[in-house]
Each structure stands twice: as structure tokens, then as C-alpha cells.
Amino acid sequence: MAAAIASLFATVVTPAFADTETLLDKLHEKGVLSDEEYQEMRTEARADRRAQALKDAKEEEKKQQPPADAARFKMSDAIRSMELYGDLRLRYEDRIATSPTDANYDRQRWRYAFRIGLRGDVSNDFFYGLRLDTGNYGRSAWVTFADDNAAQGGKSAQANKTNDAVNVGLAYLGWKPTSWLQVIGGRQPNPMYTTPMVWDPDISPEGLSEKVNFKLSDNFNLFGTAGQFIYQDFSKPSTTDSGLGVGRQDLMLYAFEAGATYKLSEESAFKGAINYYTYAGGQGVADFRSTFTGSGTGYAGNIGVNDLEVIEIPLEFRFPVSKYSGLVYGNFAKNLKGSERATRAGFPSFGDQDKAMQIGLSLGSQGIPQGAASGATYGSSAKKGTWETRVYWQRIDQFALDPNMIDSDFFERTNMEGWFLAAAYSPADAIITTARYGNAKRANDALGTGGFNDDSSGLAAPIDKYKLMQFDVTLRF
């Protein structure tokens, strides 16, 4: 039979695509294949044809699909992790400032703020961070609805976007070669342990910082921080010498910190630090090196950083309250050069106005971030059903602190004292609702209120009384 099949294939001219069943029919007609063999081989041939057709169809489908790599997001192999994060905040605000002559400045507005960023780890113990923020003011990411709506060149500017700018909020690269050392360069999150009395939470210092952390036991930890921050770039030479680098020195803020944490239990812990701030450089810089008086009506005399050498002592104690979490915290600061600052301002008899203090209480859900500058009222957590209430009293003397760094909301200037109340609740994961209220007054009536803030720039006089209400809804991701 094999010889007959070979003879048949030799005599019948069949192209590569010849029908197999046709060949089987001829073999059956010549009697080479019995009826049983013919039926069996034809069944097998049809099965092979179906399998081949299915295979061909799959191959054709693969050819029509784009390469697998073309549909994938490509990233350098050196990037070990990448996290997308940010928040979207909506706010209604009413800010009222009153002058000594009872002239009121009442600013009611609807606002929004949006921040989105990437952060993660790189090979060889490096990490990175990048964040974009709305707003173009260093102490705020907020944008006011319709504040730029106006006729421009005879054209309507309804729903204008002039002020809805997006800027770089963070851009840093870090290195952590060991568990106890970290170095960061760039525009970075504030590395200092502090409170809004001294540092506005929206400020991201620019420069270098180094942090050390030593775990002495399961309960006791020591930490330290050093910062070399560029306060203002000095781009113009201060001498007639054109030599490279001669006469050029940026205005610098140097910060140092030494602190400790002690954990009594899972729900109880103590934290404290001593911080030191000093300024250097900036010869020839006109803005921040101008003499501070605290009595001007604009920038002049209100933003100078002369004669500032500040010691800050932030403290906090966290403890359980029934099934909730309680926190008592405070902050004390003193300008070691307060007398010199008062004398240069023209008020030599007020050299004792060199201190700032804050004391507060927080009560909230267990397990949420809770600290002197963190908590649900500051947007630090957004887990369904969690909540926090907070209250603090604060006073900042006229010559105690840098007026350009203190919280631009509560209470935005020096020589002010008052109360702050806040409550926050998360009705769903990633959503925080917050209400805040502040009420302050001028601490010393013989002095002005130092500092300058665009939010109350319409009041061309010292602030005598101050009120602020804010209602926020935040999406945090």
C-alpha cells in the first residue's frame, strides 16, 4: 500500500495547497484504501484542517495587533517605585480685618486649590519628589473664583484664567544611605519639626537639608536636622569688581534642630525639640534686607529679616482618652536679637517684645496622624468615619519671628494674639470636610502689626481686630 501511495503522489501533480480529501478520494477509488481506512483518514484530515485553520487565525490576529511594548508605559529600570498623590480642595472663606479707626476690610470668596505629584525610590538608596501646585503665592496654593474677571482691551474676560496658574511646588532629590541618615536637595517639604506659628504649612524651603535619626531603644529615639536654605537669590554684584564670584552671596536661612521622641505605649508618646534659626548673606539685597519697622502700610518696613536669631521649642504629648486619642501641644520661640531689632525699628523701649507662644489641644479618632502640625484639621488623613477637633491660643510679639514665614491665615501678622478653633470629619474614604474659625486682636496697641499678606492688603493700616472663617471640602488621594 505504501508503494501504491508513493506511486500515486508521483504521478499526480498537486500544488502545496491541494485538497487532502481529494487525494484520499482517488486512493479510495483505486482500492488502495478500504472503506474503514478511508473514513478514518478523512476524519483525521478534517481535524487537522480545523486545527491548522485555528492556528492560522491566531497568527493573523497577532500580526494585526500592535507590539506589546507599544501599549506599555516605559520607565527607567533605575526607578524602583512611583506613587501618584495629591489633593483637590474647595473652600468658602470670610476674612474680616479692622483698623484702629474701625475701618473694616471684609473679603468673602470661594476658592479652590489643586496639588498633584509623583514620589518614589530610585536605585542605590536615592528617592525623589515632584509636585505641581495651583497659585503663585509662596504661602498659599489657593485660587479665588472670578478674581481675574474683568474687561481686557474692550473684550469680555468672563471665566478668565489669568490667576489660575500652575507652578512647581516641590522638586527634590534625596539620598538615604543608612537607616539613620537622609540628605535632600531642591525645593522640598519642610524638614523641621515645628508648628504654623513659626512656619506656614504651605512653605517649601529651597536648598539642602540633612536629617539624622538614632533609635536607642524600642521606645526612645533621637533626631536632628540641619538646613541650608536659600532665602533670596542675589543676582546683582555688590561691588565694582567683576571677578568670578566676588561680591555675590545669597541671603541664607540656616536652621538646626535637636529633638527626641519617647513612646510610653502604643497610644502615648512624647516629642520635643530645640530649633535654632539664623540668617546670613544677602549684601545688597533690597527686599528682605530692608529694615523691619512693623508699621508700614505695604512691603516697606514689614518684611525685613534683620536682627533675627530665633530659638524655638515645640513640644507635644499624645495620650488615650477613652476610645479616642488626645494631644496637648505647645510652642515657644524667642528672638535672641529682639532688642536690636526693636531699636533699628525705632522702638528701643520695646525690646522685650521678642517672644512667641502657642498652646493647643486636639481630640480625635484613634489611629489617625495627630501632631502639633498634623491631623485631620490640617488634611493629614481621610479615612471614612474619622474625625478631629482642635483648639489653640497663640501670641506673636512684634519683634519675635520672621513675618514672612508665619501662617498667612491664622493670624497672618506679628503683634497679634487670639484663638483658633477647627473640626474635621471624613464622610467617605479620601474625603475630608473641615470648618475653621480664628479670632485675634493686636497684642500691643503701641505698635503696628508687622508683615504683609495679599489677602488683607486692602486694609492700609495696622490690624486691630481680625476674624477668619473657612469651610473646606477636600479630596485627598
- Residue 97's SS3 state is strand
> Which burial class, exposed, middle or buried, applies to 154 when counting CB atoms under 10 A from its CB (0-12, 13-18, 19+)?
exposed
**From residue 332, how far is each of 310, 400, 423 by CA, in Å?**
10, 10, 24
β-pairing, 126-134 vs 431-442, is: unpaired
Residue 14's pLDDT is: 44
The answer to whether the CB of 357 falls within 8 A of the CB of 329 is no
The pLDDT tens digits along the chain (477 residues) read 555 555 554 444 444 445 667 776 776 676 666 666 667 777 777 777 777 777 777 777 776 766 655 556 778 888 999 999 999 999 999 999 998 887 888 999 999 999 999 999 998 899 999 999 998 887 888 999 988 887 665 566 677 777 788 999 999 999 999 999 999 999 999 999 999 999 999 999 999 999 999 999 999 999 999 999 999 887 655 555 555 554 457 899 999 999 999 999 989 999 999 999 999 987 666 678 889 999 876 777 889 999 999 999 999 999 999 999 999 999 999 999 999 999 999 999 999 999 999 999 999 999 899 999 999 999 998 899 999 999 999 999 999 999 999 999 998 899 999 999 999 999 999 999 999 999 999 999 999 999 988 777 766 678 999 999 999 999 999
Residue 15's pLDDT is: 44
The answer to whether the CB of 186 falls within 8 A of the CB of 206 is yes
The torsion angle over the Cα atoms of residues 288, 293, 299 and 300, rounded to 10 degrees, is: -90
Summarize pLDDT for 258-307 with one digit per residue, the tens: 999 999 998 999 999 999 999 998 766 667 888 999 987 677 788 999 99
Amino acid, res. 3: A
Q: At what angle do helices 35-64 and 20-29 cross, to 10 degrees?
A: 170
β-pairing, 387-396 vs 355-365, is: antiparallel
DSSP string of 187-199, one letter each residue:
E----S---TTTS
Q: Domain 86-476 belongs to what architecture? A: Beta Barrel (2.40)
Residue 101's pLDDT is: 84
Q: Tell which residue, 310, 282, 251, 291, has the closest CA to residue 450.
A: 291
**From residue 50, how far is each of 44, 46, 57, 400 by CA, in Å?**
10, 6, 11, 88
Indicate left, alpha or beta for 219 from its phi (over 0: left) and psi (-120 to 50: alpha).
Answer: alpha
The answer to whether the CB of 145 falls within 8 A of the CB of 136 is no
Residue 12's pLDDT is: 47
Model confidence, pTM: 0.82
Q: Tell which residue, 302, 295, 310, 307, has the closest CA to residue 339.
A: 307
